[in-house]
Amino acid sequence: MTRPTPPTRYSRRHFLATLGATLASAALPATAFAKYQPDQFRIGYQKAASTLVLLKAYGTLETRLAPLGIKVSWTEFPAGPQLLEGLNVGAIDFGYVGEAPPVFAQAAGADFVYTAYELPTPHAEGVVVAKNSPVRDVAGLKGKKIGLNRGSDVHWFLVALLQKHGLSIADVQPVYLAPADARAALQSGAIDAWAIWDPFLAAVESQDGARLIADASGVASHHQFFLSQREFAQNRKDALAIALDELGKTGQWVRANTAAAAAKLSPIQGLDAATIQTGLTHYAHEYRPIDAAVIAQQQKIADTFYDLKIIPRRVVTKDAVLA
């Protein structure tokens, strides 16, 4: 039997070494950035972050911030870990990521603060196998190659899922791949399973016939977080309050107009509207200010990752909350 690949430490050295590739993938110049510019609100987003993408598309945030003399700009990132790298070097002031990226980034020395979170969305991530796979349950994943995006929210989901079923990350073979590469690997048989989030989860199920082995129900909350560069959060609370208000309004619109939201997102996300609509129903699109309970859940993730030697040092998650 092939020996499982041990979890990779996400060290500060790795964080800095991958910065050049991150900036290139996000179309950012590899130059120094100002940590805080009072007349700028630079937002990092991912295409899968539907509410934030719709806010960008409709331009209402720009309209509300213009009287304050604040210019809004947007930078796309391929995933949460890269977005956190952009936040750490001062390329952006604000962004939206899952549960695990802030833990990895804090362990690597990134300076940011939690600003708000989305209500739990456990149905929005899962582990799938190809439709003809002999794997039928979580126990069947033992020894198998599982694709996932390292440092993303599914990293924690997979760890927690395996633990619930009496396994550990050392009992499987993690294969760290970006979503597009992981889907191709699942199709070709290069990996046996894939841990992924919506809308990619809905797409691989509807288009490839992939079978869901388990979602995060009863395993992980699958919170999504809005994070801010610390100095920006300290000095532009007015801009952040307006942004969260507009995000709340956009989320309310998505909940009431899911089909219309999917149609608007389809050409942006490169997926058919029906698939996007399925994925949208798995998210809450409802946000709350950061509180002690959700930070305690983040602490559990950080402690587990440290105990498993996935991160290089202990993390105190409340250190990333404004006093």
**pLDDT for res 1:** 31
Residue 1 maps to a domain: no
* Domain-ending residue, one of 182, 198, 215: 215
**pLDDT for res 21:** 40
239 and 108 part of one domain: yes
Sheet holding 40-45, edge to edge: 71-76, 40-45, 94-97, 224-229, 112-118, 287-289
**Cis peptide, bond prior to residue 199, ω within 30 of zero:** yes
100 and 232 part of one domain: yes
Using 70 as the pLDDT threshold, list the residues of the chain that sit under it: 1-34
Cα–Cα nearest to 289, from 254, 319, 247: 247
**pLDDT for res 27:** 40
60: left (phi over 0), alpha (psi -120 to 50) or beta: alpha
**Those residues with Cβ within 8 angstroms of residue 20's Cβ, 6 or more apart along the chain or in another chain:** 30
29 and 177 part of one domain: no
Residue 297 maps to a domain: yes
* Domain-ending residue, one of 215, 244, 261: 215
Q: Following DSSP, what letter does each residue of 134-189 receive, concatenated?
A: S--SGGGGTT-EEEE-TTSHHHHHHHHHHHHTT--GGGSEEEE--HHHHHHHHHHT
Residue 41 has phi, psi (to 5 degrees) of: -130, 100
**pLDDT for res 323:** 78
Sheet holding 125-129, edge to edge: 173-176, 145-148, 193-197, 125-129, 211-215
**pLDDT for res 206:** 94
Q: What is the rounded CA–CA span in Å between residue 8 and residue 98?
A: 19
Residue 153 maps to a domain: yes
Residue 7 maps to a domain: no
151 and 273 part of one domain: no
Residue 314 maps to a domain: yes
23 and 112 part of one domain: yes
19 and 74 part of one domain: yes
115 and 184 part of one domain: no
**pLDDT for res 241:** 97
166 and 188 part of one domain: yes
Report pLDDT digits (tens) over 71-114.
999 999 988 888 999 998 889 999 999 999 999 999 999 889 99
What is the number of domains present in the chain? 2
> Tokens 């009992």 belong to which residue?
171
229 and 208 part of one domain: no
Structural domain of residue 177, as residue ranges?
Answer: 122-215
* Domain-ending residue, one of 215, 234, 250: 215
Q: What is the longest distance spanned by two Cα atoms in the chain?
A: 64
208 and 293 part of one domain: no
Q: Is the CB of residue 108 less than 8 Å from the CB of residue 11?
A: yes
CB neighbourhood size of 198 (10 A):
25
80 and 70 part of one domain: yes
Residue 3 maps to a domain: no
Residue 288 has phi, psi (to 5 degrees) of: -135, 150
127 and 116 part of one domain: no
Residue 6 maps to a domain: no
Q: What is the rounded CA–CA span in Å between residue 256 and residue 247?
A: 14
Residue 290 maps to a domain: yes
Report pLDDT digits (tens) over 202-232.
999 999 999 999 999 999 999 999 999 999 9
CB neighbourhood size of 132 (10 A):
8
Q: What is the CATH number of the domain that holds 152?
A: 3.40.190.10
